[in-house]
Structure 1
Amino acid sequence: MRLFEHPTPMDQAEALAISISHALELAIRVNGWAVLAVSGGRSPVPMFERLRYRPLRWEAVTVTLVDERVVPPDHPDSNAALVRAHLLREAAGSAAFIPLVADAQDVADPAAAVARANRAFRQPDVVVLGMGEDGHTASLFPDAPELQHALSDPQPAYLLAHPGTAPHARITLNLAALLAAERAFLSVTGEAKAHVLERALQGPTAALPVSLVASRHRHGFDVFKA
């Protein structure tokens, strides 16, 4: 694991966009394509608005999501809507996009949406993660009943999670999928999350799921802190 500290969130966003684009370029050079899985919420927006201008072969990139709330695609809490609005524009507009919740039918039957996502599963080459003040990353929440399954399943896949502290059910990559990515980036901003990160780096514990990614990733795991 490598830790990069930045004086401001804008500096962090710029450095993260550059590093992600370099990781995608390398994957394209090796494979001819790259799969990028990103997180939602408001925190990644400044990075998205820089990454979308980066000059790389976006037509060879497929963008998908680390996790998604089970809400309609036009819902204010939709991660897919956020990605469309802030990333899939300018140079990045030529990338392919695979949302996890496509329509109202998926909202009505999220288990079927998960099954379909797993049938079409493509392992992300690059994952971009955030972290909550409870130590969750992706939608691996400490209080979700599905957490142990998400942590113990050796097969990279999506699953449905029902975190008690969140208003919506989630579709999320499991731990195996996060660990299988060639590059994983974690963005941490603010003093409260910095304290959580400090605890997470002391050792792996299911009470702080992000600590399991940090301790077990065997490829490239970089933390960008501001």
Structure 2
Amino acid sequence: MYWHTFHTTDDAAQALARAVAAELSKRLETQERVTVAMPGGRSPVAFFEALSCETLDWSRVTVTLVDDRLVDESHEDSNAGLVRRHLLQNQAAAAAFWPLVTEPSNPKADIARLDKELPEIDLVVFGMGEDGHAGSLFPDAPETDEGLAENNPHAAIIVTPPNAPHQRITLTLARLLTAEKLYLAIQGRAKAKIVQASGWALTGRWPISYFVQQAKAPLEVYWAP
């Protein structure tokens, strides 16, 4: 785990945007296309807007999501809608987008589609909640153990959060760890303490611990107090 500390959340967002853009550009030198999985929620907005202005061959980039809520893209809680409004603009308007949710009322169809068609993921950018959840792998959600299983053959699962609105679709740990690099963006001292403590205990109480303790993909943490 590599830890990057910044004075402000804006500094962290700008630095993360530069790092992700540089990594995408580097991979485009040897690959025809690259795919990056992005976080949801409100925290990534500054990062999305900064990244959207970075110059690279966005026409060869596919953007997907780490997780999303089972709502239409027009809903204010849709991560896909958030990405379209704040990332797929400016230079990044040329990127392709691969949503997780296309049929909110029939998530099993989306799971089957993801298993069959989701592109290989090169980079993952994700966040973490103050309860240690990563993506939509929540502590105490009945599906989280399945989502954290190393041998899970599925790209994604349906999750019912215990204390949050809307069912979700989230990529599984097994699928996320096929990426070659992970970026975790967090804010605040409480979240920093959880990430640091999760290096000592692999537990479903803190799903983030499965990302911190794995050795398959380098994890870089971008943190501001």
Task: Judge same fold: TM > 0.5, yes or no.
Answer: yes
String of CA shifts for 1:42-93, please: whole Å, max 9, x gaps: 1100000100011111000000100000011100000000000000001000
Cα deviation code 1:199-218 (max 9, x no counterpart): 22323222111111111042
Matches within 5 A, 1:154-173: 154=151, 155=153, 157-173=155-171
Q: What TM-score, normalized by structure 1, do the two folds share?
A: 0.95
Tell me the amino acid that sits aligned with residue 130 of structure 2.
E
Asked if 1 retains the 8 angstrom alpha-carbon contact of 2:39 and 2:67, the reply is: yes
Q: Residues 156 and 180 of structure 1 are in contact (CA less than 8 Å); yes or no, is this contact kept in structure 2?
A: no
Residues 124-182 of structure 1: CA distance to partner in whole angstroms, max 9, x if unpaired?
10110100011000111111111111111523611111111111111011011121111
2:197 counterpart SS class: helix
Work out which of the residue numbers 183, 186, 189 in structure 1 matches 2:187. 189
- Bigger proportion of residues as helix: 1
3-state SS, counterpart of residue 25 of structure 1: helix
Aligned to 1:94: 94
> Residues 147 and 193 of structure 1: is their aligned pair in 2 closer, same or farther, counting only changes over 3 Å?
same
Question: Which piece of structure 1 moves more, 48-57 or 109-118?
Answer: 109-118
CA distance in 1, matches of 2:158, 2:150: 13
Identity of aligned residues (%): 43
Deviates more, 1:141-150 or 1:76-85: 141-150
Distance in 2 (CA, whole Å) between partners of 1:113 and 1:89 is 26
* Residue-by-residue CA offset, 1:17-43 (whole Å, 9 max, x unaligned): 011111211222222210011011011
8 Å contact 2:74–2:81 — kept in the other structure?
yes
Matches within 5 A, 1:209-224: 209-224=207-222
1:108 aligned onto 2:105: yes
Secondary structure at the counterpart of residue 64 of structure 1: strand
For this pair of structures, how many residues does the alignment match?
223
User: Deviation of residue 197 (structure 1)?
Assistant: 1.8
What is aligned with 1:126? 123
Equivalent of residue 174 in structure 1, options 168, 172, 176: 172
Amino acid at match of 1:136: H
Name the counterpart of 1:48: 48
**Runs of 5+ in structure 1 lacking a partner?**
none
Q: Give CA deviations for 1:91-127 in whole Å, capped at 9, x if unaligned.
A: 000000011122xxx1111111111122112121011
Q: Residue 139 of structure 1 corresponds to which residue in structure 2?
A: 136
**Given the two structures, how large is their TM-score scaled by the length of structure 2?**
0.95
Partner of 2:31: 31
- Contact preservation (8 Å) 1:159, 1:173: yes
